[in-house]
Amino acid sequence: MGKQLFGTDGMRGVAGDYPLDAPTVFAFGRALGEWAREHSAEPRVAIGMDTRESGEQLSRWLMAGLKAAGVMPDHHGVVTTPCVAWLTKHGPFVAGVMISASHNPYQDNGLKVFAHSGYKLPDTVEQELEDRIFALAGPAPEPVSWRWFGMRDRAYREHLASVFPLPLAGRKLVMDCANGAAFSSAPLLLRELGAEVMVLSGEPDGRNINAGCGALHPENLRRAVVEHGAWCGVAFDGDADRAMFVSATGKVIDGDHVLFILGRDLKRRGRLPKAEVVATVMSNLGLEVALRRCGITLVRTAVGDKYVLEEMIRREAVIGGEQSGHMIFHEFATTGDGVLTLLLLLDVMLRDDAGLDALTEEFTVFPQRLINVRFAVKRPLEEQAAVQDAIRDCEREFGDAGRVLVRFSGTEPLARVMVEGPSAERVEHHAQAIAARIAAALV
């Protein structure tokens, strides 16, 4: 039987509902604690969370489960996902858990688990944990006391500043923190490096995380960058493991642009082994073309930074990521890190004395349309004749000059449709046609 609780990025759901209800999260804590005891004589588990109002309650249920298994939980409060990964790897922890639903609205939450290596758990270990959770299912836990282990985000911030001591004095940046986990640490780091930082969406209230702001909504950032004459702008998502950027003229710079800029820079400096960049099937065809001109091969994986990382490890690649802004730089990190991505991008801008507009001149984006179709009943799309007919119509028209990709989301009840091609009008036509067929088939 395949995994039922873990998706492409840990366990996700509406906070308080299954599988993020009290009995299941408590069982998860016990299962993780049992696993931790098998891998360490004195197991400790690091815990962090973003700014969602449900974070503290999920923390209490999780810690109750860990304590029931005889494991010490170390809670570090509001920190970013990459901070938890770094702490888990460099601290005395057998595992780490980030309580976050990334870019999702505040009602959702999730549990992302890291091993001591700093990597997310492989599918086999997630399946093992699921088996334990189902075996341990029982009543809700008793409340546990809250214990803080603060200031660890400072250690991570100091680590980043020591690796990238960028001379940013006189540089004006706009930063949209999505009212999420990076709302305090990211602006502080850039100010310590000398930058003038204007912060948007930096006042979390437990419910405003990702609400019309952050990486999924760059429109506010665009306005602010242009109005204030900033060098560039950055927008994080709720847990800051991804970032989107805006140039001085208001051009949105997504993960594909970042892969092009940094991949080309590494190639020029002789730091791109095998001349390969890893991305997902969602990356724009324009990225593949632009990298090819630089003598770089684009390797595609299934959607999910977890799968990007697995392919990077297999190929010993140093850079990979997703169009959505998840970037992995294996020399420096074991997971996506929006703040690290920002620092690397600023480093190139400083060395080349160029803005983001100039750095992306050689990258032409192919017209692309993404449509999310919410469904009531999940049925295999390959068995839906009408859907397959619409896909074939698109493929026949575009041939090698376009792409169509249809898949289910790993974190939400959505079917995702992506169409690329040489004509924006025809791309829109086919994307809408395929989405309509899916909506009719999955009622």
Q: Annotated active-site positions, please?
A: 102
Query: In whole angstroms, what is the distance from residue 146 CA to residue 58 CA?
Result: 12
Please identify which residue in the block is written with the tokens 């983001």: 356
Could you tell me how many helices (H) and strands (E) the chain has, helices first? 14, 18
Q: Roughly how many angstroms between the first and final C-alpha of the chain, as a whole number?
A: 26
Please identify which residue in the block is written with the tokens 């999702």: 104
Integer-rounded Cα Rg, in Å, for the chain is 22
Please identify which residue in the block is written with the tokens 């595992």: 95
Kindly state the helix (H) or strand (E) to which residue 232 belongs, with its residue range: strand 232-236
For residues 320 and 334, the answer to whether their CB atoms sit within 8 Å is no
Please identify which residue in the block is written with the tokens 């993020």: 20
Query: In whole angstroms, what is the distance from residue 99 CA to residue 274 CA?
Result: 36
Query: In whole angstroms, what is the distance from residue 45 CA to residue 113 CA?
Result: 10
Query: In whole angstroms, what is the distance from residue 141 CA to residue 158 CA?
Result: 37
Query: In whole angstroms, what is the distance from residue 338 CA to residue 205 CA?
Result: 22
Give the residue from 99, 28, 93, 112 showing the smallest Cα distance to 64.
28
Please identify which residue in the block is written with the tokens 């006042």: 203
How many CA atoms within 13 Å lie on the side-chain side of 324? 17
Residues in the chain: 443
Report how far apart, in Å, the C-alpha atoms of 157 and of each of 46, 153, 186, 188, 214 are. 17, 6, 8, 9, 20
**Helix 81-90 and helix 152-163, axial crossing angle in degrees, nearest 10:** 90
